[in-house]
Structures are given as structure tokens and as C-alpha cells.
Amino acid sequence: MIKNPVRKIVYAGVFIALNIILTRLFSYSVKIGGITGVRLNVGEVPLVLSGILLGPVYGGITGAAADLLGFPINPQGAYFPGFTLSAALMGLVPGLYGKLIKGKWSLLHISLAVIVTTVLTSTVLNTLWVYILSGKAVAVLLPPRITANIVLIPVYIFLISLSLKLFSKIDSRP
């Protein structure tokens, strides 16, 4: 985990920018089971990395800031604060888990953090937010979201594992 406060702020800015680019500009909406609106992207990866590398507070702030700054760039409908909460939790939860395991990230720990965070935010909370906004039945919204997450979770795990290896090389330099 990064300790230097200046580095934390710089990394947070980079993670915010990466999230905005990957979520708002490089996402793909698909139709799964006749339901449109399931967005496939890897924008969550920088948020999870922020929690892992910067800790829960910076991770949560990074997630919330990414959502608030990204919304005016490419709104995907009306602003809804629930999605900001979900984005904040994408950084907060892995950071809290990192404290629990004392920062010793193995592939198993990365996998658990990604699975718990994705299920909590994307599968449960974001489905609830879409239900509140659209009025569509949860039973209709949930299956495509679960299918999308079954595809995305291994991708997230791979990208986060690879990124952590690269960041450890970068951060070890003077």
C-alpha cells in the first residue's frame, strides 16, 4: 500500500481518470435475455486498485469522485446518488479487506475482494438502483447482470493481478 500522501493524491487522480475513460468512453451496452442496458466495461478495475493501493478512505473518495466527475462528461441517464455510493464502495470494500489481510495480496485475496465487491455493488446495489429508476422487476433485471458479472469477474481479477505486479515495480523505484 502506498503511504506517501502526495503519491496517494496523484494515484487517486490517475485512477479517477482511468475510471472515467474506461467507464464513460470505452463501454459497451449489450442485450442479454432481451434486456438492454447491461454495460460491459473494465472501469471498476481502477476503483478496486485504488482501494488496494491507497486504502479504504482514498479508495472510497476515488470511487465517488470518479462517478461525480464522469457523469457530466457522458451521462447515462439522470444523475442518481445510488450509483455514486456504489462507485465509492468499489474502492472502499477492497481497502477494508486489505486492512483485514494486512496488505498481503495473493491471487486468492484479490479474487475474494473482486467477487465480494462486484456482487455487492454491481449485482445487488446497482440492480436496486436500476429497479428504483426504471420500475422493472428485479427478477427481470438480475439474470443479465449476473451473466455479465460472471464474464467480467475473471477479467477484473486478471487485470488487477497484472496491475498490482506492474505497480509494485513502479513504486519500488526511488
Asked if pLDDT for residue 174 goes beyond 60, the answer is: no
> What's the sign of the alpha-carbon dihedral 96, 97, 101, 103?
negative
pLDDT band of residue 34 (cuts 50, 70, 90) is low
Average pLDDT for the chain: 90
Residue 4, helix vs strand vs coil: coil
CB 127 within 8 A of CB 145: yes
Topology adopted by domain 5-171:
Arp2/3 complex 21 kDa subunit ARPC3 (1.10.1760)
Average pLDDT over residues 155-167: 95
User: Which grid coordinates are listed for 37?
Assistant: 442496458
The full set of domain ranges for the chain reads 5-171
pLDDT of residue 35: 57
pLDDT of residue 31: 65
pLDDT of residue 101: 96
pLDDT of residue 19: 96
User: Does the predicted TM-score (pTM) go above 0.75?
Assistant: yes
User: Which grid coordinates are listed for 80?
Assistant: 442518481
pLDDT band of residue 92 (cuts 50, 70, 90) is very high
What is the b/e burial string over 58-88, where b = at least 16 CB atoms within 10 angstroms of the residue's CB?
Answer: bbbbbbbbbbbebbeeeeeeeebeebbbbbb
d(CA 80, CA 125): 12
d(CA 43, CA 31): 19
Helix, strand, coil distribution of the chain in percent, nearest 5? 75, 5, 20
> What's the sign of the alpha-carbon dihedral 15, 16, 17, 18?
positive
Helices then strands, counting H and E runs in the chain, come out as 7, 2
Average pLDDT over residues 119-127: 94
> What's the sign of the alpha-carbon dihedral 156, 10, 64, 59?
positive
pLDDT of residue 89: 98
pLDDT of residue 134: 87
Asked if pLDDT for residue 36 goes beyond 70, the answer is: no
d(CA 67, CA 75): 10
pLDDT band of residue 169 (cuts 50, 70, 90) is confident
Angle between helices 56-73 and 44-54 (to 10 degrees): 150
Asked if pLDDT for residue 140 goes beyond 90, the answer is: no
Tens digit of each residue's pLDDT (9 = 90 or more) over 96-113: 999 999 989 999 999 999
pLDDT of residue 172: 62
